[in-house]
Amino acid sequence: MQDRTVGIGASVTGLGATTPLGGDVPGTWNAMVAGRSGIGPIEEDWAGDLPVRIAGRMASDPAEVLGRVTARRLDRCQQAALVAAREAWADAGAPGVAPERLAVVVGTGTGGLLTTLGQDDLLEASGARRVSPYTVPMMMPNGPAAVVSMELGARAGAHTPVSACASGAEAIAMGLDLIRLGRADVVVAGGAEACLHPLTFAGFAQARALSTRNDAPAAASRPFDAARDGFVLAEGAALVVLERADFAAARGARVHATLAGAGMTSDAHHITAADTAGQVRAIRLALAAAGLDPLDIGHVNAHATSTPLGDLAEAESIAEAVGTHPAVTAVKSMTGHLCGAAGALGAIATVLALRDGVVPATRNLDDQDGRIKLDVVTGRPRQGRWAAGLVNAFGFGGHNACLAFTAP
């Protein structure tokens, strides 16, 4: 029996982000299209003995945007989410929706990790009385969703998928589910991450997941390139406003694109290694939920973190599930890997690619791996008009998410 939800999409009416390329969506998008890099050296003393000393820091400090009074009670991850939420909500025209029909879904990989580790250091150095009374609200993974829900007065639910690097995409997929199930008319959904800390660098480096091109930060993230050697850790947030289509139409909202479907699977295979079967199934589920055929897909925003095995596995998955005809891009070549926010940022980039008719080029792709048979956009942005596009997001633990968007 056919799923009754096929063809029931959600209008994307608002976009918000703070990333290594810019403090908002226009700044980030313009930098993507221009092919600029947001990766730079870590110059603080704590990075001196680390094997990896490059990262993608937010171009605009969210604490400065929010002000000292607000920022001091929020973890950096929460600060980023709030900045992105305010932009997305304003971009949507601040929809007049009843609080009980407004929901929030903000995913994260690590939540308030900086608070957790920072306050633990303070506890050990100075004792319990020096620990901040805001520690628990700042460290909890649901903090970003809670903060955004309170900012907007959302009472239909505040949810937090914690699915490693698939978190942001899963949040958007869950937002679509809430609308399809009739639980909300408007959902603010996406991801936030801020975990640039010696422990995360050391852990990823020990797993040999990070690029070690410390002498060439802008050239370090090289998705699909034959010389790729790992990803670049980054921070930021990306959120979208999703609306029930008739609700958006009734208020005359501007629609950037339509979230037509989503697919999520789990590998049950390996804690870090990808399984192409699970990825293929997620992509096919997204297509089915959207009522799309593989030939309808003109663009794919790949997860493509720049790891030797991960990029190859994804390339094989895309070729099997969709084919080799779509224009593929990998924005992590410019932003680095925003982990829990990566899929949500990919969603924004895909929405804008469909809306504006331009796919940003993949940076640093000098010699495409001969085993990768995809049409990866490189050199300069590709102009065109595409009816539909996909966003992939895959996370440690075997989490696979795929989002299908159609042009406005």
Can you say whether residue 192 is alpha, beta or left, with left for phi > 0 and alpha for psi between -120 and 50 degrees? beta
Report whether 379 contacts 363 (CB < 8 A): no
Q: State the catalytic residue, choosing from 337, 339, 399, 402.
A: 337
Neighbours of 68 (CB within 10 A): 8
Query: What is the mean predicted confidence (pLDDT) over 70-91?
Result: 98
More confident residue, 7 or 123: 123
165 is catalytic: yes
Q: Going by C-beta distance under 8 Å and a sequence separation of 6 or more, which residues neighbour residue 272?
A: 207, 209, 396
Which value, in Å, is the radius of gyration of the alpha carbons in the chain? 20
Which sign, positive or negative, has the C-alpha torsion 294, 186, 337, 397? negative
Reply yes or no on whether the pLDDT at 277 is more than 70.
yes
Reply yes or no on whether the pLDDT at 89 is more than 90.
yes
Tokens linked to 119: 């306050």
d(CA 114, CA 116): 5
Neighbours of 103 (CB within 10 A): 28
pTM score > 0.85 for this model?
yes
Q: How far is CA 30 from the centre of its chain?
A: 17
Query: What is the mean predicted confidence (pLDDT) over 28-41?
Result: 98
**Which of 336, 394, 365, 349 shows the shortest CA–CA distance to 15?**
349
Q: What is the pLDDT confidence band of residue 274, given thresholds at 50, 70 and 90? A: confident
Reply yes or no on whether the pLDDT at 166 is more than 60.
yes
Reply yes or no on whether the pLDDT at 138 is more than 50.
yes
Q: Work out the mean pLDDT of the chain and round it to a whole number.
A: 96
| Burial (CB count <10 Å: 0-12, 13-18, 19+), residue 160 | buried
* Phi and psi torsions of 351, nearest 5°: -55, -45
Report whether 166 contacts 400 (CB < 8 A): yes
Reply yes or no on whether the pLDDT at 104 is more than 90.
yes
Reply yes or no on whether the pLDDT at 7 is more than 70.
no
Q: Which amino acid is residue 90, in one-letter code?
A: A
For residue 3, the model assigns a pLDDT of 47
402 is catalytic: no
Query: What is the mean predicted confidence (pLDDT) over 157-181?
Result: 98
pLDDT tens-digit profile of 10-19? 999 999 999 9
d(CA 408, CA 398): 32
Percent of the chain whose pLDDT exceeds 70: 98
Percent of the chain whose pLDDT exceeds 90: 96
For residue 392, the model assigns a pLDDT of 98
pLDDT tens-digit profile of 184-193? 999 999 999 9
pLDDT tens-digit profile of 35-60? 999 999 999 999 999 999 999 999 99
Q: State the catalytic residue, choosing from 77, 165, 195, 339.
A: 165
Query: What is the mean predicted confidence (pLDDT) over 210-219?
Result: 98
For residue 5, the model assigns a pLDDT of 56
Tokens linked to 404: 């299908």
pLDDT tens-digit profile of 355-386? 999 999 999 999 999 999 999 999 999 999 99
For residue 275, the model assigns a pLDDT of 87
Reply yes or no on whether the pLDDT at 2 is more than 80.
no
For residue 184, the model assigns a pLDDT of 98
301 DSSP assignment: E
303 is catalytic: yes
151 DSSP assignment: H
Q: State the catalytic residue, choosing from 159, 256, 299, 303.
A: 303
pLDDT tens-digit profile of 310-346? 999 999 999 999 999 999 999 999 999 999 999 999 9
Q: Going by C-beta distance under 8 Å and a sequence separation of 6 or more, which residues neighbour residue 126?
A: none
